[in-house]
């Protein structure tokens, strides 16, 4: 991935690292075991730069509402779960998207009462920024949380991201969820994730690492308000605490991204800024004092300009620490220039653009055609030589789908090449976590983290048809779907 024309035919793996690239005398002569991958294509392992592993692992066992066509259908699955629920169990539905339902308004507390009036019920919107609770669930949510509408049951932002805390998910459950999520990551060819965690997730990771159970490189970014007393830490070759996560605003789907102009489908609403510029400058100073990298969630244009104002005012170490902005969907030309000058990394989600920015899809309803045309400007970002890394945000976790999305961007002028999209899912991810000396490309001495694909993505007609055949982390085969 260092140069476009660079391709090799073999290498030696020893002590978890890559050696002797294309040195066939050594490869054939000295290796104890030879793996013939004729017909396959090997790439550096994918780095997913934006994940929520605990949530993903837990969600697998919850009620999946992502394919429902109506609220009634969602109710059907929730009720089925209710029938088998035991005393004290929560019923949690995940991934609903009311924009594809017949009635496109958010469900209410009363409507969820029909699922259960005994068990607490919560359904989470696909964006992860909005949820609806029944009365029993609302009782478990203390008064300390903002954006809890006790009349309608609507929950927004922080209370939704902290659901695991509210339902008191134990450390053992978190550890199990992480291991389940790692299995999913391996099957997608992912060898490293940049994961957003709370304090208990971080502790769960530390235990797994001490037990030698982490077969994935995990770079953690912990919620800022849970980072008291912490410093950047490299626990092992597999686990490190890299940075702090801040949220400047919400999401377009939940109409909580902070916009300069009203939402097209909700006049009078400009979303909400979750932090003002003063809060942000204080947090930037605090993070830089502790040498923490910052990961700042900013989607709307008002959030973006506030975040950039704060960085311009307070940041002195942005080049060294490589602070990053997550999502950056409403990224206008003037912001691109400022991002380049401050030296920020952009961590974007091509799957968002592909899924929601097609004609007449959700983003067009929310933002209108004119603004939508300028969203997710991947080509402009690349042309400005800003380091852009890709991540899935779990929607779904699939680098090949993400790369397909980037090269088929709904706005023709913003499509990027397959090669550049691959870079954004490999070596740019390494750069974003300051790992480029160890990960992200084939170089002697780097970790033997790679993925074996059924065909070469650079020649493929449709990347969604490519299969992950094998995933290797530190020289260990962690996923193997090769034919006999
Ligand atoms: Zn996220």
The helix, strand and coil proportions of the chain, stated in percent and rounded to the nearest 5, come to: 35, 20, 45
Tens-digit pLDDT string for the chain (484 aa): 888 878 899 999 999 999 999 999 999 998 899 999 999 999 999 999 999 999 999 999 999 999 999 999 999 999 999 999 999 899 999 999 998 998 889 999 999 999 999 999 999 999 888 999 999 999 999 888 989 999 999 999 889 988 988 998 999 999 999 999 999 999 999 999 999 999 999 999 999 999 999 999 999 999 999 999 999 999 999 999 999 999 999 999 999 999 999 999 999 999 999 999 999 999 999 999 999 999 999 999 999 999 999 999 999 999 999 999 999 999 999 999 999 999 999 999 999 999 999 998 999 999 999 999 999 999 999 999 999 999 999 989 999 999 999 999 999 999 999 999 999 999 999 999 999 999 999 999 999 999 999 999 999 999 999 999 999 999 999 999 998 6
CA–chain centroid gap for 454, Å, is 25
Residue 105 alpha carbon to ligand 1 centre in Å: 23
Burial call 265-277: b when 16+ CB within 10 Å, e when fewer:
eeeeebbbbbbeb
Q: Which pLDDT score is estimated for 182? A: 98
Residue 26 alpha carbon to ligand 1 centre in Å: 44
Residue 195 alpha carbon to ligand 1 centre in Å: 9
Residue 255 alpha carbon to ligand 1 centre in Å: 16
Residue 211 alpha carbon to ligand 1 centre in Å: 27
Residue 25 alpha carbon to ligand 1 centre in Å: 47
Residue 248 alpha carbon to ligand 1 centre in Å: 12
Q: Is 314 helix (H, G, I), strand (E, B) or coil?
A: helix
User: Is residue 85 included in any domain, yes or no?
Assistant: yes
Q: Which pLDDT score is estimated for 157? A: 87
Residue 116: is it exposed, middle or buried by C-beta count within 10 angstroms (0-12/13-18/19+)? Answer: buried
Q: Which pLDDT score is estimated for 350? A: 97
Residue 52 alpha carbon to ligand 1 centre in Å: 6
Q: Are 297 and 327 in contact (CB under 8 A)?
A: yes
User: Is residue 109 included in any domain, yes or no?
Assistant: yes
Residue 20 alpha carbon to ligand 1 centre in Å: 39
Residue 242 alpha carbon to ligand 1 centre in Å: 16
User: Is residue 110 included in any domain, yes or no?
Assistant: yes
Residue 285 alpha carbon to ligand 1 centre in Å: 23
Q: Is the peptide bond before 145 cis (omega within 30 degrees of 0)?
A: no
Residue 387 alpha carbon to ligand 1 centre in Å: 19
Q: Are 59 and 66 in contact (CB under 8 A)?
A: no
- Of 140, 142, 90, nearest to 118 by C-alpha is 90
pLDDT digits (tens, 9 = 90+) for 27-63: 999 889 999 999 999 999 999 999 999 999 999 999 9
Residue 40 alpha carbon to ligand 1 centre in Å: 33
User: Is residue 96 included in any domain, yes or no?
Assistant: yes
Residue 85 alpha carbon to ligand 1 centre in Å: 29
What does each C-alpha distance from 367 to 69, 210, 346, 372 come to in angstroms?
A: 23, 47, 22, 6
Residue 3: is it exposed, middle or buried by C-beta count within 10 angstroms (0-12/13-18/19+)? Answer: exposed
Q: Which pLDDT score is estimated for 383? A: 97
Length, in residues, of the chain: 484
Task: Give the alpha-carbon dihedral of 398, 399, 402, 406, to 10 degrees.
Answer: -170
CA–chain centroid gap for 248, Å, is 16
* Block residue for tokens 């660079």: 6
Residue 37 alpha carbon to ligand 1 centre in Å: 35
Which residues make Cβ contacts (< 8 Å) with residue 364, sequence separation at least 6? 357, 358, 372
Residue 394 alpha carbon to ligand 1 centre in Å: 8
Q: Is 234 helix (H, G, I), strand (E, B) or coil?
A: strand
Residue 216 alpha carbon to ligand 1 centre in Å: 19
Residue 218 alpha carbon to ligand 1 centre in Å: 15
User: Is residue 150 included in any domain, yes or no?
Assistant: yes
Residue 312 alpha carbon to ligand 1 centre in Å: 24
Strand segments, DSSP code E, in 235-331 are 239-247, 293-298, 324-327
Q: Which pLDDT score is estimated for 102? A: 87
Residue 65 alpha carbon to ligand 1 centre in Å: 19
Residue 165 alpha carbon to ligand 1 centre in Å: 17
Residues with CB under 5 A from ligand 1 (ion): 393
Residue 168 alpha carbon to ligand 1 centre in Å: 20
Identify the CATH number of the domain in which residue 86 sits: 3.10.310.70
Residue 356 alpha carbon to ligand 1 centre in Å: 16
Residue 170 alpha carbon to ligand 1 centre in Å: 22
Q: Which pLDDT score is estimated for 4? A: 82
User: Is residue 355 included in any domain, yes or no?
Assistant: no
Phi-psi group of 393: left, alpha or beta (phi > 0 → left; psi -120 to 50 → alpha; rest → beta): left
User: Is residue 187 included in any domain, yes or no?
Assistant: no
Q: Which pLDDT score is estimated for 50? A: 98
Residue 13 alpha carbon to ligand 1 centre in Å: 34
As a whole number of angstroms, the distance between CA 22 and CA 38 comes to: 15
- Of 441, 442, 446, 444, nearest to 424 by C-alpha is 441
Count of structural domains, the chain: 1
Which residues make Cβ contacts (< 8 Å) with residue 109, sequence separation at least 6? 132, 133, 134, 135, 138, 151, 152, 153
Residue 23 alpha carbon to ligand 1 centre in Å: 42
Q: Which pLDDT score is estimated for 483? A: 81
Residue 436 alpha carbon to ligand 1 centre in Å: 23
- Of 404, 379, 387, 417, nearest to 464 by C-alpha is 404
Residue 266 alpha carbon to ligand 1 centre in Å: 24
Task: State in Å, rounded, how far the first CA of the chain is from the last one.
Answer: 30
Q: Which pLDDT score is estimated for 69? A: 94
Domain limits for position 124: 58-166
Residue 393 alpha carbon to ligand 1 centre in Å: 5
Residue 454 alpha carbon to ligand 1 centre in Å: 30
User: Is residue 152 included in any domain, yes or no?
Assistant: yes
Which residues make Cβ contacts (< 8 Å) with residue 123, sequence separation at least 6? 65, 74, 78, 92, 93, 94, 96, 107, 112, 131, 132
């Amino acid at each position: 991935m260092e140069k476009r024309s660079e391709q090799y035919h073999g290498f030696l793996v020893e002590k978890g690292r890559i050696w002797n690239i294309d040195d066939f005398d050594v490869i054939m002569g000295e290796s104890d075991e030879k793996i013939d991958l004729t017909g396959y294509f090997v790439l550096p392992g994918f780095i997913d730069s934006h994940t929520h592993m605990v949530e993903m692992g837990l969600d697998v066992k919850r009620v999946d509402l992502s394919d429902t066509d109506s609220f009634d259908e969602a109710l059907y699955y929730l009720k089925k779960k209710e029938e088998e629920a035991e005393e004290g169990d929560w019923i949690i539905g995940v991934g609903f998207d009311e924009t594809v339902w017949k009635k496109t308004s958010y469900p209410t507390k009363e409507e969820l009462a029909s699922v259960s009036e005994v068990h607490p019920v919560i359904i989470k919107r696909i964006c992860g920024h909005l949820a609806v609770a029944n009365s029993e669930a609302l009782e478990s949510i203390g008064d300390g949380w903002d954006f809890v509408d006790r009349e309608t049951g609507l929950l927004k932002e922080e209370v939704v991201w902290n659901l695991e805390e509210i339902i008191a998910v134990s450390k053992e459950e978190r550890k199990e969820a992480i291991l389940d999520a790692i299995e999913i990551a391996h099957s997608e060819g992912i060898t490293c994730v940049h994961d957003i965690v709370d304090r208990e997730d971080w502790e769960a990771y530390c235990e797994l690492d001490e037990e030698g159970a982490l077969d994935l490189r995990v770079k953690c970014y912990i919620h800022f308000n849970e980072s008291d007393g912490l410093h950047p830490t490299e626990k092992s070759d597999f686990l490190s605490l890299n940075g702090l996560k801040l949220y400047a605003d919400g999401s377009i789907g939940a109409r909580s991204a902070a916009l300069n102009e009203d939402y097209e489908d909700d006049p009078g609403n400009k979303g909400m800024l979750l932090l003002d510029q003063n809060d942000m400058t204080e947090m930037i100073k605090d993070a830089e004092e502790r040498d923490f990298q910052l990961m700042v969630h900013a989607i709307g244009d008002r959030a973006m300009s506030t975040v950039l104002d704060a960085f311009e005012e307070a940041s002195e170490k942005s080049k060294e620490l490589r602070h990053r902005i997550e999502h950056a969907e409403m990224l206008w030309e003037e912001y691109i220039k400022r991002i380049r000058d401050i030296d920020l990394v952009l961590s974007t989600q091509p799957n968002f653009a592909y899924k929601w920015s097609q004609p007449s899809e959700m983003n067009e309803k929310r933002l209108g055609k004119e603004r939508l045309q300028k969203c997710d400007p991947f080509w402009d970002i690349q042309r400005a030589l800003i380091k852009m890394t890709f991540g899935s945000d779990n929607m779904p976790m699939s680098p090949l789908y993400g790369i397909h999305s980037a090269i088929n961007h709904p706005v023709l002028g913003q499509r990027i090449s397959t090669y550049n999209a691959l870079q954004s899912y490999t070596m740019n991810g390494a750069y974003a976590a300051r790992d480029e000396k160890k990960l992200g490309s084939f170089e002697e001495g780097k970790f033997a983290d790679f993925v074996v694909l059924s065909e070469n993505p650079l020649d493929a007609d449709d990347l969604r048809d490519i299969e992950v055949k094998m995933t290797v982390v530190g020289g260990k085969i962690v996923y193997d779907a090769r034919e006999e």
